[in-house]
Structure 1
Amino acid sequence: MLDQSSAYNRAGRPACTELRLKSQEKVLEVDFADGKAFRFTAEFLRVESPSAEVQGHGPHQRTYIGGRRHVNIIAIEPVGTYAVRLKFDDLHDTGIFSWEYFYDRGHDQDELWARYLAALEERGLKRDPR
């Protein structure tokens, strides 16, 4: 369990109450104070990382990364009481994954995944590594 002093954060999103890394499944489960729970594949979190490498520094700078189908999370490091840094086995570790990020992406996961797959196809990229 995560120690949360409030059930909701400043943005009005429910506090994260638990993270569970399922390494064998390559899944991170995230539970919230409002009872919602989301399952994220490591691949999804890697390709949707909030890092500048993926998101860029402004609108229209988004980078689409292929070849991450088999990526896994190898470490989770707390960042204050509001986020974690995930380290992936491809050594990406620059994204700060806030509770808001998990909550919002959890709700939009299907749409974001479909957009990612379409972007890969447009760019001639594949999910599998070369």
Structure 2
Amino acid sequence: MRPNLGICIGVALALSGCGADYLNNYDSVTLAAGDANRANTLAQTVDPFNPSSRNTHIEGNGQRIAGVVQRYRGVAPASGTVPNSGGDLDCAGGKGNNPVVPPNTPISGPDVNGLDRNHDGIGCNSR
């Protein structure tokens, strides 16, 4: 029984030496790869993360978001009102990036968004 055990151990040792070749091939830089400059750069990295990733304060426009939620819920905007927003407003159904103003909306005060192109006091009309 002892000779069989010795043969099994010998065969196992012979085969295990053949299977360890993949350990010498790495896809990344290692300390033993021979590229000392790159290995030192990896070892001396102070903060690898983008500093902007720490900014958790995300700006938003509450009135614009409220309009989006109301449109999603199917709540019609109050007639004759233009949302009071510092952002860019566009006519509903238009080519703008914020189409929230319904057609034929009365404009009071300065027309900062250019909704009343023909200067008749009515915004988003086709006249």
- Larger RCO of the pair (alpha carbons < 8 Å, separation 6+): 1
Higher-strand-fraction structure: 1
Structure showing greater radius of gyration is 2
Higher-helix-fraction structure: 2
TM-score norm. by structure 2 comes to 0.22
